[in-house]
Amino acid sequence: MRSMPTDAHVGAKFVVDRIVGMIQGVMRDAAREGELDDDAFIGIGLGSPGPLDRETGTVLETPNLGWRNFPLRDLIGKSVGLPAELDNDANAATLGECWQGAARGVSEVLGVTLGTGIGGGLVINGEVYHGASDVAGEIGHMTIDSTGRRCACGNYGCLEAYASGPAIAARAVEGLEAEAASLLPDMVDGDLDRITAAHVSEAIIAGDEYAADVMRETARFLGTGVANLVNILNPEMIVVSGGVTRAGDHLFGPLKAEVRKRAFKVAADACRIVPSELGDTAGVIGAAATFHLARLGPI
């Protein structure tokens, strides 16, 4: 896999040019090495933050990238000269896990991606469920406390406002400001603004009890949201991905316990909660699957 930073602040055109350049680079290198000629490339699968409109290939709004009504699919497809298909990045990641990752052979799957935000993807009976207008699966903005913390979306008490990477860091800092004992301040030379969720995971591995408490609390918030989804959807498997999963049992232990406590037993018993197998590559593998499903049929 090849990757480059998005550098969204320099504008959408720059990001598109960069993606097109990378696709053309892959095609050129494959041709030079004699592996594949141009005819071997049949199309492009794209995964993007949403919400988006799959029919027109337009990204409607991305708070983190600042795009609005942006015709991503056609800009890239026309520049490269190949047909392209677009889906939400979390849907693509879930599809990737179903095709080649932790959920191979499982037909009812919920993907949960913990990062800057919280994304979700839903595969029902082997197919991505998109809903009436392609917004299905936005689990990060499920309300878990009606008068709770303010979320970037403008609502109060969204799951994302408690268990995303930045939310974990913010809750950790609040406790430190209330003078909790921890290794965390020394890890950032006393500059608490620099604390990230990755520092919390590192501190746990170093034996920090306070950081373990922050992660247990994160798992309880996450478990509250996941228990709702277990009752509503009765999934066979939930695949959790993102850097926070490095905390291992410190996250998964209390997460599973919270789900067992809150969800109907028969639904919780049927649901395996597992870490991602594909990690960062789930989205690109799933985007290829998205193209295949749209243009060529079942994989």
Least Å distance, CB 151 to Zn ion, is 3
Task: Identify the DSSP state of 189.
Answer: T
Check residue 186 and give left, alpha or beta (phi > 0: left; psi -120 to 50: alpha).
alpha
The first and second tokens of residue 221, run together, are: 């918030």
> Given candidates 84, 158, 219, 237, which one binds Zn ion under the rule CB under 5 A?
158
Site for Zn ion contains 159 (CB under 5 A): no
Amino acid of residue 261: K
Question: Which of 53, 56, 59 lies closest to 19 in space, CA to CA?
Answer: 59
Q: What distance in Å separates the CA atoms of residue 127 and residue 113, rounded to the nearest whole number?
A: 18
**Is residue 214 part of the contact set for Zn ion (CB under 5 A)?**
no
Shortest Cβ 245–Zn ion spacing (Å): 21
Contacting range for Zn ion; rule: CB under 5 A; set: 11-19, 74-82, 123-131, 152-160? 152-160
137 is a contact residue toward Zn ion (CB under 5 A): no
Question: In the complex with Zn ion, which residue's Cβ is closer, 18 or 149?
Answer: 149
Determine, following the binding rule CB under 5 A, whether residue 153 of this chain makes contact with Zn ion. Answer: yes
- Binding part of the chain for Zn ion, among 10-18, 35-43, 140-148, 288-296 by CB under 5 A, reads 140-148
Least Å distance, CB 197 to Zn ion, is 18
C-beta separation of 140 from 118 below 8 A = yes
Beta-bridge partners for 53: 58
Could you give the CA distance from residue 96 to residue 92 in angstroms, rounded to a whole number?
6
155 scored as a contact of Zn ion (CB under 5 A): yes
Q: Which stretch binds Zn ion (CB under 5 A): 109-117, 142-150, 153-161, 212-220?
A: 153-161
> Element (H or E) spanning 58, and its range?
strand 58-62
Q: Pick the stretch among 35-43, 120-128, 154-162, 223-231 that binds Zn ion (CB under 5 A).
A: 154-162
Q: Give the pair of three-digit tokens for residue 230.
A: 């277990």
User: Whole-number minimum distance, CB 155 to Zn ion, in Å?
Assistant: 5
d(C-alpha 201, C-alpha 294), whole Å: 39
Q: Is 80 in the site for Zn ion (CB under 5 A)?
A: no
Report residue 284 as tokens: 């690109």
Q: Which is nearer to Zn ion, 118 or 123 (CB)?
A: 118
141 binds Zn ion (CB under 5 A): yes
Compute how many residues bind Zn ion; rule: CB under 5 A.
Answer: 5
Q: Which of 144, 151, 163, 211 binds Zn ion (CB under 5 A)?
A: 151
Cβ-contact 58, 72 below 8 angstroms: yes
Bridge partner residues of 238 (DSSP): 110, 273
Judged by the rule CB under 5 A, the positions of this chain that interact with Zn ion are 141, 151, 153, 155, 158
